[in-house]
Copies of this chain bind each other. A is one copy, B any other.
Amino acid sequence: MKILNHFPSDDGFYMPAEFSAHFGCILIWPHRRDSWQFGAYAAQRAFVQLIRLISESEKVIVCARFDDYDNARSALPSQVRVVEMSSDDSWARDVAPTFVTNGQCIRGIDWGFNAWGGLYDGLYFPWDKDNKMARKLCDLLDKDCYNMRHFILEGGSVHSDGEGTILTTEECLLSPGRNPDMSKDDIEDMLCRTLGAKKVIWLKRGIYLDETNGHVDNICAFTSPGEVVLAWTDDKNDPQYEISKECLDILESSEDAMGRKIKVHKLLLPKPVYLTESDCQGLDRFNDEPTRHPGDRLAASYVNFYIANKTVIVPQFGDENDKKALELLSTLFPTRKVAGLISNDALLSKDLLIGGGNIHCLTQQIPIF
C-alpha cells in the first residue's frame, strides 16, 4: 500500500455512486456496550441478518476485535470474511475508507475521524482505533491510500452521484467539531479535490436530532444520477417538516454537475420513534452516564438503506410507512430486489438504531474498480 499525500482528483480519481458495481462491502462487528443493548448481542443478531442479505450479492468483509473474532466467525455465513481489526465502535460508513476510482483501479481515502465532533461535541473518547481503520483496510485490500487525516470527514456525510455531484449538509460539514478553521468554500474545494467532484449541493440540516450533526445519508440519497429520495413528513407540527421542506426547496432549485434538474422523490418517514424504558435496558453507562434515556426520539429514516449489487436493504420500524418505503424504492431500483431488514417479525432496525444510526451507516461499499 502506497500512502499518497496529494489529492485523488490530481490522479483522475473520483468517488463512484453507491449504485455502481461493488466488489464488496465492509462492516464492523458491533461490540460497544454503551451503544448496543445487552453487550451488543441484540445488534449482533441484526448484523447477522443484514450481512446475510448483503452477502447474497457481493463479498462481505467483517472487521472483528480480537475478543470477538470467534463469535463473529461462527455467527456469520462461511462466504463472509472475518478479519481481526481493533475498533472503538461499528460505523464502517464513517471510519472505513471512502473508495475512489479512475475506472481501472480503486484507492481509498483515509479521512480524519474524531467521533463526530471530537472534544467539541463528539460522541465518545477515545476514537484512535476507529481513526486508524481506513488505512488498515486499504492495506488489507492491497489498495493505495490517500492520506487526508488532516481533514475531518465521515463517509456518511457525503453522497456522490458518480458524475461529479456531491450531496452534503451544512449542519455537519460546517459544525465546529470538524474543521473549524476552514470556510465553506475551503471545504467545498476539499470535497471536489478529494472526491473528484465538480458540484456540491449543500443541504442545510439532516434528520431532526441526528447525533451525527445531520449526516446527509440519513435524509437524502441518490437513487440514480439526477434523482434523489428525501426523507419527508407531511406533519407540519413535527420539527422535521421544516428541515425536510428546506432540503426540498434547495434540491428543486439546484442543478447537478451535469446541468440536470434534481428530481426529488419524497420518502415518507415513519412516525417518530422513541426509546422506551425497555429499549434502554441493557445499555452500559459511558463515563458513568446513561447514553440513552426513555423518551428520547431516535433519528429513524428509511433513507438509511444500503444499495448492494442485487439488493437494496431498507430499515423497517413496524410503521405503516414501512411498506410504502419498500414500494417506492422498488420503483426507483427496478433491477434490484428491495428487502426490509426484518427477521421473524423482529424489528431489527430498532436494535441498530439505538446505537445511533442504521444500515447505511454500518456499511461501506468497495467499488469493483
Contacts and interface: CB of A to CB of B under 8 A. Distances in A.
Interface of A: 1-3, 66, 69-70, 73, 78, 81-86, 129, 132, 135-136, 139-140, 142
A142 B83 contact: no
Contact of A129 (B66, B83, B85): B66
A64 to B, nearest CB: 9
A130 to B, nearest CB: 12
A227 to B, nearest CB: 36
23 contacts: A1-B73, A1-B78, A1-B81, A1-B82, A3-B78, A66-B86, A66-B129, A69-B132, A69-B136, A70-B132, A73-B135, A73-B139, A81-B139, A81-B140, A82-B136, A83-B83, A83-B136, A83-B140, A84-B84, A84-B85, A84-B86, A84-B136, A140-B140
Nearest to A2: B78
**What DSSP secondary structure best describes chain A's contact surface?**
mixed
Nearest to A78: B2
Counting every copy of the chain, the complex holds 2
Nearest to A129: B66
Contacts of A135: 73
Contacts of A84: 84-86, 136
Nearest to A144: B78
A139 B82 contact: yes
Point out which of A81, A85, A86, A139 has the most chain B C-beta atoms below 10 A from its C-beta: A139
A112 to B, nearest CB: 15
A96 to B, nearest CB: 14
Given A2-B78, A3-B78, A139 B66 contact: no
Task: Pick the 4 closest A-B CB pairs, nearest first.
Answer: A66-B86, A2-B78, A84-B85, A82-B139
